[in-house]
Amino acid sequence: MRKTILGFVVLVSLLIVPATATASVSGTVVVDGGSADGETVTVAPLDPGNELVSNATETTVEDGSFSYESVEGAITYFIQLEHEDTTHYALVDDGEQPNIVLNDTIDGELVDENGTPISNATISVTSQHGPEVTQVNATDGSFTIGPVQPDRVYTLEIEANGATYERAVSTGDDAANTTFELPTPTTDRDALTLGGGQPVNHLLRVGPTQNGTGLFVVETVSVENGADRPFAGDVSFEVPSDAEVVTGMVDGERTSANRTNDTVTVETTVGAQENATVDVFYRLEDQAFEKPVGYDVEQLAIQFAEYDLTQVEVSDNLVEADAPMPMVTSTGPLEADDQISVSITESNQSVASDQTDGGSGTGEFPLGLVSLGFVAIIAIGLAAYRYL
């Protein structure tokens, strides 16, 4: 549900479908100690599959109320209210009167394990329906969030100590004077183990550069943090000696990647008892490479885009996978120092691009490598392979 709601919120301004109005529905907004008059309310009608029936409409709060037209085919309505520096949400059934009440606050303090206030933290607040409500700064460790809706569960994503913490709070008695203890992150790499990846937790994706003479490689490891506190440190990769490192990513967000000799480290944070996917992107001038695995793994996989396996030669410790797309996997467990090699023996005309997101240089992000088509090939292929 949450992902669906987020999806249509993004599409609110893009999707336009002819609507058939059937009846007028009125709603109210009550703000404790204030007023929402003049604020904007956005109404999105949804079908049984939580898809938009028509384009969302905007209305304004006047004298504490607002109204909108019901739409044929809609069974629920997603209501969004912008009030001052916060955004509030309600999900109501067709014909139900939406009543948004803002009469509660969430306040408290962020402390470390010794009870010392943690300064300069940022708190992002999301509602039980998924979207962000507001973002506040806890400069001296204390914070106040509000007004918010009663009887709701809010998720607080707290960025502090160079790590991210997630806490849930229900408005009501436990939302007042709440103390969140945030243990100091660990930098111990031993807290992380490979795990959580599908179909494997160490994967290389290989595709051609724009001119077809070299390769782009996205190397991915899936890690689990077994500690009782966040991990904030580096995840390392062993890369070919001639690799030109482009960038790193953690859970789909770009981050810095630093190279020392043939080792690349990616700054990573992983919540306590949580998983993360860490990537390093690198470019190779030639269509062949050899490198250490870098980790002790039960199985490693290499997936190819724009090549079939008749065009690929690999080391003896890799074998063709029983998969619906070009892929090789390790013949068994590999150790960190084991070498793997790949060579493209016959090239196709390249369609992957090594264009960047602005400017030139090795630090820019390769748009072509993560283009929609490239990602779709990988996603569909890996999903199919998982269930073979």
The share of the chain scoring above pLDDT 90, in percent, equals: 73
- Residue 76, token pair as written in the block: 């629920």
Mean pLDDT of 184-211: 88
- CA distances to 196, 204, 280 from 253, rounded to whole Å, are 18, 18, 12
pLDDT of residue 136: 95
Contact 201, 195 (CB under 8 A): yes
In the prediction, which pLDDT does 347 show?
60
Q: Phi, psi at residue 174, to the nearest 5°?
A: -85, 5
Tracing tokens 């912008």 back to the chain, one arrives at: 82
Task: Retrieve residue 244's tokens.
Answer: 């030109």
Separation between Cα atoms, residue 176 and residue 108, nearest integer Å: 7
Q: What is the pLDDT of residues 234-243, one digit of tens each?
A: 999 999 999 9
List pLDDT tens digits, range 36-92: 999 999 999 999 999 999 999 999 999 999 999 999 999 999 999 999 989 999 999
Query: What are the tens digits of pLDDT across the range 209-219?
Result: 988 889 999 99
Alpha helices in the chain (DSSP H): 2-11, 372-386
pTM for the full predicted model? 0.73
For the chain, domains (ranges, CATH) are 2-102 (2.60.40.2190), 104-181 (2.60.40.10), 190-386 (2.60.40)
Integer Cα distance of 88 and 127 in angstroms: 8
For residue 176, give Cα distances in angstroms to 158, 169, 180, 230: 17, 10, 12, 25
Q: Are strands 301-304 and 202-208 parallel, antiparallel or unpaired?
A: parallel
Distance, in Å, from the CA atom of 240 to the CA atom of 44, rounded to the nearest integer, reads: 51
Judged against a pLDDT cut of 50, whether residue 200 lies above it is answered with yes
Residue 96 has pLDDT above 90, yes or no: yes
Q: Which residue has the tokens 């490198």?
A: 291
Q: Provide the token pair at 141.
A: 């460790």
CB 158 within 8 A of CB 121: yes
